């Protein structure tokens, strides 16, 4: 399968049919970047990103693993979360953003990438095995999903993602929706 502008246009439109959380995601994609940048957010706003990461799989992410991840994140102090997000907002690149975010309990590179996506959705996208797998099947990535991915893995993934989005003349979010739909099939 080739990832083309036509494929992205067609498949991204199907996203709400396969992702029950699509409306809530859109609301948060519009709300959170400005909220995080302004620093005027509560615990639940940041916690939503962690919950979204596993819950968007609608049962495909083992419940025990999802709860363990959410519980680990819950061990953070609000001030530490706020400081990490503020530092990530001011960061110059993914490496710097993830360095701050992964200092938090329960935040690894994949969860950190979810924060990056909701901090700056024009420049960053979440990494997971579904997205990676579709890019690999399309010949865009040459290695299987590293579990867990490192910062270097994320940077390679993000570079590939941006190149495909540019080639297909679409946003990272439209490409995300496309790969999600294709990964469902």
Instruction: Kindly report the length of the chain.
Output: 185
The pLDDT tens digits for 107-161 are 999 999 999 999 999 999 999 999 999 999 999 999 999 989 999 999 999 999 9
CA distance 51 to 72: 12
The pLDDT tens digits for 21-30 are 999 999 999 9
The pLDDT tens digits for 70-91 are 999 999 999 999 999 999 999 9
What's the domain range around 88? Answer: 5-184
When divided into structural domains, the chain yields a total of 1
- On whether the CB atoms of residues 86 and 78 are closer than 8 A, the answer is no
Q: What is the pLDDT of residue 27?
A: 97
| CA distances to 64, 88, 126 from 173, in Å | 28, 20, 10
pTM as predicted: 0.95
| CA distances to 26, 50, 96, 177 from 16, in Å | 10, 21, 33, 9
Mean pLDDT confidence for 34-48: 96
């Amino acid at each position: 399968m080739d990832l083309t502008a036509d494929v992205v246009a067609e498949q991204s439109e199907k996203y709400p049919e396969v992702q029950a959380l699509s409306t809530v995601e859109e609301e948060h994609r519009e709300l959170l970047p400005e909220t995080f940048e302004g620093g005027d957010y509560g615990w639940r706003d940041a916690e939503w990103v962690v919950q979204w990461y596993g819950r968007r799989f609608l049962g495909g992410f083992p419940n025990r693993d999802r709860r363990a991840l959410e519980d680990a994140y819950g061990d953070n102090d609000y001030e530490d979360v706020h400081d990490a997000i503020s530092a990530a907002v001011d960061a110059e690149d993914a490496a710097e953003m993830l360095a701050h975010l992964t200092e938090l309990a329960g935040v690894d590179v994949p969860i950190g990438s979810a924060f990056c996506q909701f901090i700056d959705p024009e420049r960053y996208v979440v990494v997971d095995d579904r997205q990676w797998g579709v890019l690999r099947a399309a010949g865009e990535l040459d290695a299987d999903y590293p579990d867990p991915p490192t910062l270097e893995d994320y940077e390679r993934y993000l570079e590939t993602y941006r190149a495909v989005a540019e080639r297909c003349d679409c946003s990272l979010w439209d490409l995300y929706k496309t790969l999600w739909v294709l990964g469902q099939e």
